[in-house]
């Protein structure tokens, strides 16, 4: 999205959706693999910081914070060693805020549950556009009247020219009346260090179900 926005001059309004809040009534032990609840909880803590950054410094600040944090979590050299507890801590967040050009004091929002209502409302708004049996990301095309879809889900970072081409295909499908879904559950592991996949290589293909990799007993 950032690659295409830079090429096409788009303005992106980054909104929030918390898997922890969406799944608040779900028994994690029976629905998800081990560790998902902790991961979703640390994600909610980081969204609180993003929400505070947006409120105090504008929408671009939320985008900058998200880009910095996601790069550190998913594709930094030490990504595989980061635990959910570390990812949701002030010691982790404060240096990343500084790297994003934001005040380190925004890390105080990690524990500010008052922000959860705003985050929950934006997640509910997104799911009202797509239906609830989807994951993230959700893109709302040409709001407020355009359609919205979950995806696209891709495992490799495209080159700039390929990103624009992929975007044109996606928007073409999104603009076709009545189009609802094009899906497969077999996916390559994402081309990210946190998944053990280096740039320039393809991850192993795995079968996914309900947002998580299927495991063989």
Q: Spell out the domains of the chain, with CATH numbers in brackets.
A: 2-213 (3.40.30.10)
Summarised one tens digit per residue, pLDDT across range 165-187 is 999 999 999 999 999 999 889 99
Q: Is 207 helix (H, G, I), strand (E, B) or coil?
A: strand
Supply angle C-alpha 110, 115, 121, rounded to 5: 135
Helices 90-99 and 59-75: crossing angle, nearest 10°? 120
Summarised one tens digit per residue, pLDDT across range 183-203 is 889 999 999 999 889 888 899
* Whether this model's pTM surpasses 0.85: yes
Summarised one tens digit per residue, pLDDT across range 31-69 is 888 999 999 999 999 999 999 999 999 999 999 999 999
Q: Is 38 helix (H, G, I), strand (E, B) or coil?
A: helix
- Confidence class of residue 211 from pLDDT cuts 50, 70 and 90? low
Read off the tokens for 147. Answer: 């359609």
The Cα–Cα gap between 163 and 96 comes to 27
End-to-end CA distance of the chain: 37
């Amino acid at each position: 999205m950032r690659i295409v926005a830079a090429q096409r001059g788009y303005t992106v309004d980054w909104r929030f959706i918390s898997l922890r809040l969406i799944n608040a009534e779900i028994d994690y032990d029976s629905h998800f693999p081990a560790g998902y609840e902790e991961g979703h909880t640390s994600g909610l803590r980081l969204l609180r910081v993003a929400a505070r950054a947006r409120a105090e410094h504008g929408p671009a600040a939320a985008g900058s914070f998200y880009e910095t944090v996601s790069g550190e979590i998913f594709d930094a050299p030490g990504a595989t060693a980061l635990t959910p507890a570390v990812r949701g801590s002030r010691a982790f967040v404060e240096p990343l805020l500084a790297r994003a050009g934001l005040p380190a004091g925004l890390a105080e929002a990690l524990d500010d549950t008052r922000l959860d209502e705003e985050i929950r409302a934006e997640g509910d708004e997104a799911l009202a556009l797509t239906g609830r049996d989807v994951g993230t990301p959700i893109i709302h095309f040409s709001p407020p009247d355009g359609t919205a879809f979950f995806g696209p889900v891709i495992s490799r970072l495209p080159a700039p020219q390929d990103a624009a081409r992929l975007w044109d295909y996606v928007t073409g499908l999104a603009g076709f009346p009545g189009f609802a879904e094009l899906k497969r559950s077999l996916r390559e592991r994402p081309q990210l260090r946190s998944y053990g996949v280096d740039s320039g290589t393809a991850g192993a293909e795995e079968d996914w179900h309900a947002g998580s990799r299927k495991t063989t007993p």
